[in-house]
Structure 1
């Protein structure tokens, strides 16, 4: 059966929303959006008018700049609320962040990346933006490592490719080294990310399992390396694992997982 060709109008509308979401300088003028997505100004203008009427984009009457509209935010909220991992982990992650005063995140696998479903900031880890919806590479993040604990090296290589991207001098870029790191993490019960994605950042994560015992998500504690150096890592990890187990039970896991 032949596949249905993509709808060009939908693709173009998605490109507009993608450009707005990726903007590093906030609102964008129509001409800037047209250049970013490679369409003519008149075509882009018509798309923006339609999207504005549906409240998927918002236009500032004074600056004429466009930004993501209310309807997109509402859909994103509905999507999160429909996700069982988000529902079960949200309150637990928020409490964890407040208790340890650091950042608590929950992520799930999406292809070769980890996508954030929850992001809460403690007193010692303030941010000016949210991580919800953002992605991190599996091999260079503690959350991502947790999501690969059930995989064989062959499965990881097939998923990530033979070459692993380097982000800092600490990034693990060899599959054999990654396998060894994950074996240590599995024996320990939690994964470590020590400046592998960004210098000065330290993160620990524990897996969350579903009713079948398979890893469905991961939850992490992260913060600046200078702050975490002063904390009792064993105590933090025990707190993290307890929260991960509580979320796992909420997802239906009722028996221990054999190693």
Structure 2
């Protein structure tokens, strides 16, 4: 089947929204948006006017920001997602109980995308991670989402493995060995592989057929981890992930791969 031709107008509108959404500032001027997406000022202005009329952007004194229509659409997408519905309350309870950050992520092609993000007392932040991504090979969430793939599928999906810190695994054989350990013990570990000073442990979430469809993690600073019992933390993560899996319909044990 031939690929359907893309719609340039829609692509440009999405580019405008992405330019606003990924900006460091709370709002972005039209001229800066045009520069970021390499589009003429008049064309960018027309797109912004249309998006503003539809409620997808909002204009203020300092420029444009994401509008309520986009927020509503995103929340509707989350509410329709069975993994989000089943994991939200349990992930929040986990963060409160342990005091660190809990996340639920799913795989979107070669990335791990956050569906849920909750902060414990030791992990307060001024922003949400929902919708943001993590590398599959370097994050505990991502490693869990790779566990169902064969070696060839994993290599084909990931290609070269980018390095983020001195601890990042950049060799496919080493990554395979790390994933084998994760399969045997039931949880994956990220030890300062994306950012120095950060530790994360994650367990897979499965659907009614036993397939890995998401992962649940608990993360925090290495200094925070020293005051916690790691075996107890990982057991808690595995148990909560299993409860979410049961909520998604999994009723049989999954044999070791």
Q: TM-score, normalised by structure 1?
A: 0.97
- After TM superposition, list the pairs within 5 Å mapping 1:188-227 onto structure 2: 188-227=185-224
Q: Distance in 2 between matches of 1:148 and 1:3?
A: 28
Unaligned runs of 5+ in 2: none
Q: Distance in 1 between matches of 2:183 and 2:5?
A: 44
- After TM superposition, list the pairs within 5 Å mapping 1:1-259 onto structure 2: 2-60=2-60, 62-63=61-62, 65-161=63-159, 163-259=160-256
Q: Distance in 1 between matches of 2:52 and 2:199?
A: 41
3-state secondary structure, aligned to 1:23: coil
Q: In the TM superposition, what is the alpha-carbon distance from 1:80 to its structure 2 partner?
A: 0.3
Q: Distance in 2 between matches of 1:110 and 1:209?
A: 16
Q: Deviations over 1:86-121 (max 9, x none)?
A: 000000000000000100000000001100000000
3-state secondary structure, aligned to 2:203: strand
Q: Distance in 2 between matches of 1:182 and 1:230?
A: 27
Q: In the TM superposition, what is the alpha-carbon distance from 1:258 to its structure 2 partner?
A: 0.8
Give the length in aligned residue pairs. 256
Q: Deviations over 1:39-94 (max 9, x none)?
A: 1111111111111010000001x33x100000000000000000000000000000
Q: Deviations over 1:179-224 (max 9, x none)?
A: 1111111111111000000000000000001000010100000000
Structure 1 segments (4+ residues) deviating >4 Å: none
Q: Distance in 2 between matches of 1:43 and 1:178?
A: 46
Q: Distance in 2 between matches of 1:152 and 1:4?
A: 31
Q: In the TM superposition, what is the alpha-carbon distance from 1:2 to its structure 2 partner?
A: 4.1
Deviates more, 1:42-51 or 1:4-13: 4-13
3-state secondary structure, aligned to 2:255: coil
Q: Distance in 1 between matches of 2:107 and 2:174?
A: 21
3-state secondary structure, aligned to 1:183: helix
CA RMSD after TM alignment: 0.9
Q: Distance in 2 between matches of 1:31 and 1:49?
A: 14
Q: In the TM superposition, what is the alpha-carbon distance from 1:3 to its structure 2 partner?
A: 3.4
Q: Distance in 2 between matches of 1:36 and 1:9?
A: 17
3-state secondary structure, aligned to 2:124: coil
Q: Distance in 1 between matches of 2:4 and 2:204?
A: 38
Q: TM-score, normalised by structure 2?
A: 0.98
Q: In the TM superposition, what is the alpha-carbon distance from 1:5 to its structure 2 partner?
A: 1.8
